[in-house]
Amino acid sequence: MLDFPTAAKLVRDAFRTRNQRKMRKANDKIMREWVLSPTDELYQLSVYSYVLAKMLSKPRFMGRTYSGKHKEIDSLLSRLVSFAQKNNQKEFSQTLLTLKSSIQDVESSDARYIKNMMEKGRLKTAATLYAQGISLSAASEMTGVEKQEIMDYAGKTLMFDRMGEGENLSKRLKKARKILTGGKK
Amino acid sequence: MKSNYVLCDASSLISLTVSCLDSLLPFFQEKFRVRFLIPKSVEYEAVTRPLSFKSKIHSFSALRIKDMIHDEVIEVVSENAEEETKELMRLGNSIFHARGRTVRLMHMGETEMLVLANRLQVPSLLMDERTTRILVEDPISMKKHLQKEFRANIMVNKKHLLDFSSKVKDLDVIRSTELLYLAYENGFLRHFNDIEKDAAEAALYNLKYAGCAVSFNELKEYAKLMVR
């Protein structure tokens, strides 16, 4: 079981060391925990850790221009850990909101896509839930991402190749033939 | 049993319209008198809600579905099955457990489809979503999948699994790829002449990329069947 302080620490340490791999691992762990204990705070941490991993992977966001923002994010993540350790839910949630706007500030100065990194983070989180086995509607409801978008993303991944296929194709076609054509070929 | 009726969920309508293959529905309606039904919740999800978005990002798909409803290719059924849906969802969401906690996989949306199929005596579901289909067809493969994903031992509540399975045992789930393949067999793509098979294969891939839960292996199998 991954508690709030540990989850927040994982994100803080990964960002402090500017380690993208570590951030991705933190994101994986938080995601897995969130599926079992779906709280809004874990959801946000999950999305933000994804976005921070993305940020760490892009040289244009890691230059000197953004060093002030990086320090701000470092400090907010440390505060998150501290509030989580003190079990101060109110301040923890408030700090998450500030963290969100700090992350968004980084991208808004150099926006290049219709969908920003935060939205992509939400989409990726929703698609990961679906890939893990959560139903499409549940993934959509838990993240607020439209089904169409999850399907569009999922269709371009290998998620349907990573799981049993259910009934075999010939049986499925036989069944479908009966339903749709009355058995006629 | 209404054997020529098919209850469609939002996922299949989405992949069909996104890949511009929604004309498969009138094809089966006209040629084989198949009747496609959707509950009001699917109409809301696939038509009403997307049409309310300012971005208009999903408007065209929604309008195509709206048009099919207008043309009576798709019929909207009013049926309230809230209590039964909650009960089936409770069962479905208490089958698998990881690290002492319940893995909640199911949602009212898909569960309602299973309940309505039984209630309306329409045992055929058109559904491109993966989780619900696997739970109906092969729940043990879901257990294996969850074990891999959660890197944990998954415990199965056998009683709930049996209860759940007994409630869905008479349902047949098909996907839009099966619809396309059978349409191809029956001349839907004949106007492509000597590239008919290529067109059918490309259309199957189109459905996959639009989100229909089909594996690349299955697409290869379809292609082999076409060669024969």
> Residue B192: helix, strand or coil by DSSP?
helix
Asked if residue B179 and residue B166 are part of one domain, the reply reads no
Sign (positive/negative) of CA torsion B48, B51, B53, B57? positive
Quick one: pLDDT at residue B228?
A: 54
Percentage, residues of chain A above pLDDT 90: 68
B203 in a domain, yes or no? yes
Q: Cβ contact (<8 Å) for B105 and A138?
A: yes
B42: its two tokens:
């699917």
Asked if residue B182 and residue B73 are part of one domain, the reply reads yes
B121 in a domain, yes or no? no
Comparing CB atoms, the residue among A136, A137, A161 nearest residue B217 is: A161
Comparing alpha-carbon positions, the chain B residue that sits nearest to A161 is B215
Q: Measure CA B160 to chain center.
A: 23
Asked if residue B180 and residue B142 are part of one domain, the reply reads no
pLDDT band at A185 (very low <50, low <70, confident <90, very high): low
Asked if residue B156 and residue B192 are part of one domain, the reply reads no
DSSP E strands, chain B: 5-8, 35-39, 74-77, 96-98, 101-102, 124-126, 154-156, 172-174
Q: What is the mean pLDDT of residues A39-56?
A: 93
For residue A111, pLDDT over 70 is answered with no
For residue A27, pLDDT over 70 is answered with yes
For residue A108, pLDDT over 80 is answered with no
A130: its two tokens:
């679906």
**Distance in Å, alpha carbon of B59 to nearest chain A alpha carbon:** 11
Asked if residue B169 and residue B92 are part of one domain, the reply reads yes
Chain A residues with CB under 8 Å of B169 CB are: none
Asked if residue B183 and residue B74 are part of one domain, the reply reads yes
Asked if residue B93 and residue B42 are part of one domain, the reply reads no
Quick one: pLDDT at residue B22?
A: 97
Quick one: pLDDT at residue A127?
A: 95
Domain span at residue B14?
5-78+175-227
Residue in A141, A165, A167, A170 to test binding to B, most B beta-carbons within 10 Å: A165
Comparing alpha-carbon positions, the chain B residue that sits nearest to A114 is B55
Per 3-state DSSP, chain A is made up of helix, strand and coil in percentages (nearest 5) of 75, 0, 25
pLDDT averaged over chain A?
90
pTM of the model: 0.91
CA distance A140 to A129: 9
Chain B residues with CB under 8 Å of A152 CB are: 18, 210-211
B47 in a domain, yes or no? yes
**Distance in Å, alpha carbon of B107 to nearest chain A alpha carbon:** 5
pLDDT band at A6 (very low <50, low <70, confident <90, very high): very high
Chain B residues with CB under 8 Å of A3 CB are: none
Q: Measure CA A105 to chain center.
A: 19
| pLDDT tens track for A126-181 | 999 999 999 999 999 999 999 999 999 999 999 998 877 778 899 999 999 999 99
B177, B150 Cβ separation under 8 angstroms: no
Chain A residues with CB under 8 Å of B213 CB are: 154, 160
Chain A residues with CB under 8 Å of B102 CB are: 36
Q: What is the mean pLDDT of residues A91-109?
A: 89
B122 in a domain, yes or no? no
Q: Cβ contact (<8 Å) for A133 and B142?
A: yes
CA distance B148 to B103: 14
B102 in a domain, yes or no? yes
Residue B106: name the closest of A175, A66, A139, A5 by CA. Answer: A139
Asked if residue B222 and residue B156 are part of one domain, the reply reads no
Chain B residues with CB under 8 Å of A144 CB are: none
B120 in a domain, yes or no? no
Chain A residues with CB under 8 Å of B176 CB are: none
- Count, residues in chain A: 185
pLDDT tens for each residue of chain B, 228 residues long? 677 899 999 999 999 999 999 999 999 999 999 999 999 999 999 999 999 988 888 999 999 999 999 999 999 999 888 999 999 999 999 999 998 999 999 999 999 999 999 999 999 999 999 999 999 999 999 999 999 998 899 999 999 999 999 999 999 999 999 999 999 999 999 999 999 999 999 999 999 999 999 999 999 999 999 975
For residue A113, pLDDT over 70 is answered with no
Quick one: pLDDT at residue A128?
A: 93
Asked if residue B198 and residue B160 are part of one domain, the reply reads no
Asked if residue B159 and residue B200 are part of one domain, the reply reads no
Q: Cβ contact (<8 Å) for B138 and A156?
A: no
Residue-wise DSSP of A92-132:
HHHHHHHHHHHHHHHHHTT--SSS-HHHHHHHHHHHHHHHH
Taking CA atoms, B120 is separated from A41, B39, B165, in Å, by 41, 11, 18
What is the bridge-based pairing of β-strands B172-174 and B124-126? parallel
User: What residues have CB less than 8 Å from B217, skipping those under 6 apart?
Assistant: A161, A165
B204, B222 Cβ separation under 8 angstroms: yes
B210 in a domain, yes or no? yes
Backbone angles phi, psi at B174, to 5 degrees: -120, 160
Chain A residues with CB under 8 Å of B222 CB are: 169
Comparing CB atoms, the residue among B132, B182, B216 nearest residue A161 is: B216
Q: Cβ contact (<8 Å) for A146 and B145?
A: no
Quick one: pLDDT at residue A63?
A: 81
**The total number of structural domains that make up chain B:** 2
**Distance in Å, alpha carbon of B166 to nearest chain A alpha carbon:** 17
Asked if residue B31 and residue B96 are part of one domain, the reply reads no
**Distance in Å, alpha carbon of A12 to nearest chain B alpha carbon:** 23
CA distance B35 to A182: 13
For residue A184, pLDDT over 70 is answered with no
Quick one: pLDDT at residue A148?
A: 94
Residue with more model confidence, B218 or A65: B218
CA distance B14 to B77: 19
**Distance in Å, alpha carbon of A167 to nearest chain B alpha carbon:** 6
Asked if residue B41 and residue B153 are part of one domain, the reply reads no
B123 in a domain, yes or no? no
For residue A107, pLDDT over 80 is answered with no
